[in-house]
Structure 1
Amino acid sequence: MGRQNRVKKIGKMPEYRRFTSEKKDCLKIILSLEEYETIRLIDYLSYSQLECAQMMEISRSSVVSLYHSARNKISRFIIEGHTMEIDGGHYQLEYSEGEREMKIAVTCVEGEVFQHFGHCPSFLVCDIKDGKIDSSQMIDTSTSGCSALAGVLSQLGVDTVICGGIGGGAKNHLNAAGIKVLPGASGNALAQVQSYIEGTLNYNPETECNHHEHECQGQHHCH
C-alpha cells in the first residue's frame, strides 16, 4: 500500500499562472501549487526550509523534495525555453488574519458570470469570513462604464472581482481602487467564489475585451 499523499497548506495563490515561450514545439512544464509555495516562501520571502515546513504543515524532507523539484522545473523553463503553468497538486489554501474577511464581487446575470464587465447590470457580492461564504447578495447597478463600476465596487468595500471579459482601462480603474481582478472566469457565479476560496478558480489573467477609444463611457464589445 502506497504512502498517503498528505495535504499541504499554502498561504497564497499565484497571481500569474501561465508563462509562454518563443520556442516552437516546446513542452509545457507543470509546476504544482505546493512546489510554487516552497519557492514563494524560501526564495521570495527568505524563510528557512524548517519554517517553510512548519507553515505548510509537512516534514522538512517533504519541503526539500518539493523545493528541489520546483527549482529543477524552473531551470528547465528558463534554459530550455519551454512554457510553464502553475496548477494542480494536493493542497489546502490557508488565509492569514488579514485575509480571513474579504468581499468578492462577480459580474452576474441570471446566476452566471457575465462576460462584459463594462456593461454588467448586476454583481453577486459575497462576504467571506474564516475562509467561508458568510453571506451573499445581488447588487443592481444603475450605471455602466469601467470608471463608474469601479467606483460602485469600491464604495461597497469589494476586495476582489471575478469576471469574464474586461478591458485594460477597466483593470486600471479597479487596480487604482485597490481591487484585485480575476478575469476569464465562466459558469455559475456563486460556484466561482467557492472555487476561489478553495484555490481552484479557473481564470486567465491575460483575458481582455477589445475596446474602442470610448471604453470608459461603457461603449465596448468583447470578442
Structure 2
Amino acid sequence: MGRPTKGKRISKIPQYQKFYGENKFQEKIVLLVEEYETIRLIDYLGYSQEECAKEMHIARTSVQSLYSDARRKLARFLIEGIGLVISGGNYQLKEFTNKENIKGDGKMIIAVTYDNGNVGQHFGKTEFFKIYSVEGKNILSQKVIDTDGHGHGALAGYLKKLNVEILICGGLGGGARNALAESGIKIYPGAIGNADRQVEAFLEGNLDYNADIACNHHNHEDGHSCGHNHK
C-alpha cells in the first residue's frame, strides 16, 4: 500500500469560489485549492516558483505542475466562457501568523509607511517611512526618514538599500508588490493606526493586517482609505 500524499500548505481558503461564464449550461471547470494558491502566490503576490514551493512546503516541480494546470484552466474559463469553481484538492490550511517571521536572535529592520504618527495608507505616495531596528521583541532604535522623491516601484529599491526586511503599510498596488517581492521584502499591508503600536503588535505576533488588500490610486474617491481592513 502506497504512502498517503502529504497535503500542500495553503495560507487561506479563497474568499471567492464560484465564477459564472456566459454559458451557464456547460460543465464547470474545477480549480483545485492548491492550484489557486500557486496563482495567488506567483501571479498576484509576485513570488518566484522557488518561493512558492517554500511557502507551500512542496517541491518546485510540484509547483510547476500545479501552476501549469491552473493556467490552462483559467485560459479555458476566459476563452470558452464557462463557469469556474475553486474546490477540492489535497491541502493543509496554514494558520498564518507573523510570529514565524520574527528572528529570535538576530537583528531586523522594519519599515512603516508613515503619516503624522500613523501608518500611511498609500505606499506609492508616501513621503516618509519610519524605520525600526529590532532584535527579538525589542525595538533598539527608530527614526523617520524622507523618501527623497522616490515613488512607487523605486521605493522598493530605496528600502532594499536600507536593508529593510519587513514592510508594514496600508494599501499598495500590484506593481509595488512585485517590486518588493523582487527586493526580498516581506509585506504586511492593510495595517491602520499608530505606527509604533503596529510594530509592537507585529513583534508580539498580533498585527492585524490584510495580505490581499489592493490599492488603485486612479480609482480613489474622496475619503477613501486604501489600507482599511473591512471585516
Using structure 2 for the length normalisation, give the TM-score: 0.54
Cα distance 1:87–1:173, how it changes in 2: closer, same or farther (>3 A)? closer
Equivalent in the alignment of 1:109? 115
2:17 to 19, 22, 35: 22
Equivalent in the alignment of 1:169? 175
Checking the alignment, whether the CA contact within 8 Å between 1:93 and 1:197 is kept in structure 2 is no
How far apart, in 2, do the equivalents of 1:188 and 1:20 lie? 28
How far apart, in 2, do the equivalents of 1:173 and 1:94 lie? 20
Give 3-state SS (helix, strand or coil) of 1:205's partner: coil
Quick check: 1:196 aligned with 2:202? yes
The runs of at least 4 consecutive aligned structure 1 residues that moved more than 3 Å come to 14-19, 84-88, 92-97
Checking the alignment, whether the CA contact within 8 Å between 2:103 and 2:135 is kept in structure 1 is no
How far apart, in 2, do the equivalents of 1:208 and 1:138 lie? 25
Quick check: 1:142 aligned with 2:137? no
2:133 to 124, 127, 136: 127
Cα distance 1:198–1:17, how it changes in 2: closer, same or farther (>3 A)? farther
Give 3-state SS (helix, strand or coil) of 2:158's partner: helix
Cα distance 1:85–1:94, how it changes in 2: closer, same or farther (>3 A)? closer
Cα distance 1:202–1:123, how it changes in 2: closer, same or farther (>3 A)? same
How far apart, in 2, do the equivalents of 1:148 and 1:128 lie? 25
Give 3-state SS (helix, strand or coil) of 2:192's partner: coil
For 1:145, the aligned partner's letter is G
Checking the alignment, whether the CA contact within 8 Å between 1:124 and 1:137 is kept in structure 2 is yes
- Any stretches of 5+ residues in structure 2 without a counterpart? 1-8, 19-55, 59-86, 219-223, 227-231
Deviation at 1:16, TM superposition (A): 3.7
Equivalent in the alignment of 2:124? 118
Cα distance 1:21–1:199, how it changes in 2: closer, same or farther (>3 A)? same
Quick check: 1:205 aligned with 2:211? yes
Give 3-state SS (helix, strand or coil) of 1:136's partner: strand
Deviation at 1:96, TM superposition (A): 4.9
How far apart, in 2, do the equivalents of 1:175 and 1:44 lie? 19
Deviation at 1:147, TM superposition (A): 1.9
Deviation per CA, 1:179-201: give whole Å up to 9, x if none: 11111000000111111111100
Cα distance 1:15–1:159, how it changes in 2: closer, same or farther (>3 A)? farther
For 2:167, the aligned partner's letter is V
How far apart, in 1, do the equivalents of 2:187 and 2:207 lie? 13
How many residues were matched structurally? 146
Checking the alignment, whether the CA contact within 8 Å between 2:11 and 2:96 is kept in structure 1 is no
Give 3-state SS (helix, strand or coil) of 2:121's partner: coil
Using structure 1 for the length normalisation, give the TM-score: 0.55
- Any stretches of 5+ residues in structure 1 without a counterpart? 1-13, 24-42, 46-77, 213-220
Cα distance 1:196–1:19, how it changes in 2: closer, same or farther (>3 A)? farther
Checking the alignment, whether the CA contact within 8 Å between 1:16 and 1:205 is kept in structure 2 is no
